Amino acid sequence: MLFAAVGASAQDDLLELLGPVETPDAFVAATFKDTRIINGQSNETPAGGVLHFVIAHRFGQISDGAYALWGLDNASMRMGFDYGITDRLSIGVARNTFQKTYEANLKARLLRQSNTVPLSITGFSSIACNGLRWPEPDRVNYFSSRLSYVHQLVIARKFNSNMSLALTPSVVHHNLVATPADAHDEYLIGAGGRYKLSQRVSVNGEYFLRLNPGEAYNNSLSLGVDIETGGHVFQLHVTNSQGMFERAFLTETAGRWLDGNIYFGFNLSRVFTVSDR
Amino acid sequence: MNAFFTLTLAAAGLLASTQARAQQFMTRSAHVDFFSSTPAEDISAVTEQASAVLDLASQNIAFQVPIISFHFEKALMEEHFNENYLESEKFPSATFTGKVSGLNPDAAVGLEQPVTATGTLSIHGVDVERTVEGTAVRTAAGWNLEARFDVPTEDHNIPIPKLVRSKIAESISVTLQAELSPR
């Protein structure tokens, strides 16, 4: 008995000899399940050699009622492809039903949370091109008028395996604005987070506060659930933003939660490993 | 006289401690890989960052494997392994502590000895008493240890959801190779 106790403690001493687990090169994984928290970007990018395909639907206003099946009759779509050139850099293209908008974007992990680094910082830049026919074809229309730009920094921290939060300072530049009173540059600060309910399900929320808001629109507020099933992530959400690309939900959110102008939608993402790591 | 006695004692102590040290062999770059094979998918992962220590006098042995150091072919598998299955933030390492039997410390260099290690395998925070067969080979400087064993996921409270059960084997085949040198 005594011998056994001594033996066991000698083995534990041996384990202690090996010291604490040291993996200095390990970055914190899966701060968020997907590259987006809901509408807005998370700090995540597709891994190197991985194609990330996302198909997103946004339905009509829930306040449309039973006649329009609470908005489900009016679906708009976003189809996006993002490719990880390396584990830290990705490029993407997308097409939106909303204003027939084309997008191209670049996303880079500038800083990654690890044992020694307390947070992750990811830069995101996108250019969007309105694809609608000119409403007034007779006047002189410049191609540049179709374009708008968004630049964001996603500053994120995974506090523990369940909770992650992100702050997202953002700037949106419109080449063409509706009236001379509207600002070409709009500044916003976003806050988002997730809390995991189980290994494969989390609840998410995000809010974007416009710092120099125009009259017409509202701040974007979204609540959602992430469900992970193998290679897919389903994100179900309700939001007062109809557009699914940055400029649209950051600066053109028309709905008001209090009036029931909210939209149900989902993102469905799938990853394909295209080339070896 | 007194000074001489102290010196002798110190020398004897030093000798004893060097001898104790020479009885211990270790590495911080042991190889561990595992393999899950199903008709739907083969999954494998490997690390070269496992630690191992063997105390020849007591024949005690310990392994420590950082879970996050396992590398998979697909990044998403690695993420799921750490996040959903092994929960590496809660349980950062897998360990084995036990006793080796059948090891002859004075064996000829290069002779392969079948050995058995009996002890506690701790994975995902769940301890299981195991007896693992392997081989030990004395090298010029130290010892090479090799073992292959199966780990049923159920034993370590690692549930596999129904949806992916066709892709992940119920029992995972683990191989380890450690080249130990004197400590």
Domain regions of chain A by residue span: 2-273
Structural domain contains residue B16: no
What pLDDT, on a 0 to 100 scale, did the predictor assign at position A43?
A: 97
Pairing of strands B143-152, A263-273: unpaired
Summarize the confidence of residues A121-136 as an average pLDDT: 94
Q: What is the DSSP letter of A216?
A: S
The DSSP letter of residue A95 is E
A258 contact partners, CB below 8 Å, separation of at least 6: none
What pLDDT shows up at residue A10?
66
Residue B150: which CATH number? 2.40.128.110
Cα angle B9, B10, B16; round to 5: 90
Is position B6 within any domain?
no
- Does the pLDDT of residue B3 top 70, yes or no? no
Q: Do A18 and B99 touch (CB under 8 A)?
A: no
Please answer yes or no on whether B62 and A277 come within 8 Å at the CB atom. Answer: no
Distance from CA of B108 to the nearest CA of A (A): 26
Asked whether residue B19 is domain-assigned, the answer is no
Average pLDDT over residues A13-22: 78
What pLDDT does residue B15 have? Answer: 47
List the one residue out of A176, A173, A245, A247 whose CA is nearest residue A217: A247
The 3-state secondary structure of A176-212 reads CCCCCCCCCEEEEEEEEEEEECCCCEEEEEEEEEECC
| CB-based contact A34:A227 (threshold 8 Å) | no
Amino acid letter for position A163: M
Q: State how far the Cα of A108 lies from the Cα of A97, in Å rounded to an integer.
A: 26
Q: Is the pTM higher than 0.90? A: no
- Domain presence at residue B148: yes
User: Which residues of B fall below an 8 Å CB-CB distance to A?
Assistant: 24, 26, 28, 49, 51-53, 55, 58, 60-62, 64, 66, 68-69, 73-76, 78-79, 82-84, 87, 89-90, 92-93, 95, 97-99, 119, 161, 163-164, 167
- Chain A CA closest to residue B81: A29
Please give the residue that has the higher pLDDT: either A150 or A271. A150
3-state SS class at A172: strand
Do A23 and B89 make contact, defined as CB atoms within 8 angstroms?
Answer: no
Rounded to 5 degrees, φ, ψ at A69 are: 45, 50
Residues of chain A positioned with their CB less than 8 A from the CB of B167: 230
Q: How far apart are CA A182 and CA A1, in angstroms?
A: 83
> Cα distance from A266 to chain B (closest Cα, Å)?
21
Residue pair A144/A168 in contact (Cβ under 8 Å)? The answer is no
Q: Compare all CA atoms of chain A with the CA of B65 and give the residue at the minimum distance.
A: A21
Cβ separation B66–A23 shorter than 8 A: yes
Q: Check if the beta carbon of residue B63 is closer than 8 Å to that of residue B176.
A: yes
Would you say residue B15 lies in a domain?
no
Number of CB pairs < 8 Å for A and B? 87
Pick the residue with more confidence: A92 or A64? A92
pLDDT digits 0-9 by tens, B99-157: 999 999 888 999 999 999 999 999 999 999 999 999 999 999 899 999 999 999 999 99
Domain spanning A2-273: CATH superfamily: monomeric porin ompg (2.40.160.40)
**B51–A276 CB contact, under 8 Å:** no
Total count of domains within chain B = 1
Q: What mean pLDDT comes out for the span A238-258?
A: 94
Domain of residue B115 covers 24-182
User: What pLDDT digit, counting tens, does each position of A183-208 carry?
Assistant: 899 999 999 999 999 988 999 999 99
DSSP for chain B, written as a single string? -HHHHHHHHHHHHHHHHHHHHHTEEEEEEEEEEEEEE-SS-EEEEEEEEEEEEEETTTTEEEEEEEGGG-EESSHHHHHHIIIIIS-TTTS-EEEEEEEEES--TTPPTT-EEEEEEEEEEEETTEEEEEEEEEEEEE-SSSEEEEEEEEEEGGGGT----GGGTTTS-SEEEEEEEEEEEE-
In the block, tokens 């090891």 appear at B103
Residue-level pLDDT at B177: 97
Task: Read off φ and ψ for residue B17, nearest 5 degrees.
Answer: -70, -35
Asked if the Cβ–Cβ distance from A48 to B99 is below 8 Å, we say: no
The per-residue pLDDT for range B79-90, each reduced to its tens digit, is 999 988 999 988
**C-alpha distances in Å from residue B20, one per residue of B16, B61, B148:** 6, 15, 29
pLDDT category, A24, cuts 50, 70, 90? Answer: low
- pLDDT classification of A274: cutoffs 50, 70, 90: confident
